[in-house]
Amino acid sequence: MTLGLFPLNLVLFPQSRIALHIFEPRYKALINECFERGIEFGVTYIDEGHMHTVGCAARVVEITNRYDDGRMDIIVEGDYRYALVELAKTDQPYAVGEITQVYDDLAESLDGDLLADVLGTYNLVVAMVFGPQAPTFTHDELSDTPSYDMAPKCGLANEQKQQLLTLQSENARLRLLQKHLGQLLPAMRRAEQVQQFIQRDGYMRAMPSREK
Which of 38, 69, 101 is at the close of a domain?
Answer: 101
Query: Within this chain, do residues 89 and 10 fall inside the same structural domain, yes or no?
Result: yes
Q: What is the pLDDT of residue 201?
A: 54
Q: What is the pLDDT of residue 199?
A: 62
**What CATH number did the domain enclosing 49 receive?**
2.30.130.40
- When divided into structural domains, the chain yields a total of 2
CB 57 within 8 A of CB 78: yes
Domain range for 74? 2-101
Q: What is the pLDDT of residue 61?
A: 96
Is the per-residue pLDDT at 16 higher than 90? yes
Q: What is the pLDDT of residues 163-195, one digit of tens each?
A: 999 999 999 999 999 999 999 999 888 887 777
Query: Within this chain, do residues 135 and 163 fall inside the same structural domain, yes or no?
Result: yes
Query: Within this chain, do residues 133 and 87 fall inside the same structural domain, yes or no?
Result: no
Confidence of residue 198 (pLDDT cuts 50, 70, 90): low
Query: Within this chain, do residues 118 and 90 fall inside the same structural domain, yes or no?
Result: no
On whether residue 203 sits in a domain, the answer given is no
**Whole-prediction pTM value?**
0.87
Confidence of residue 106 (pLDDT cuts 50, 70, 90): confident
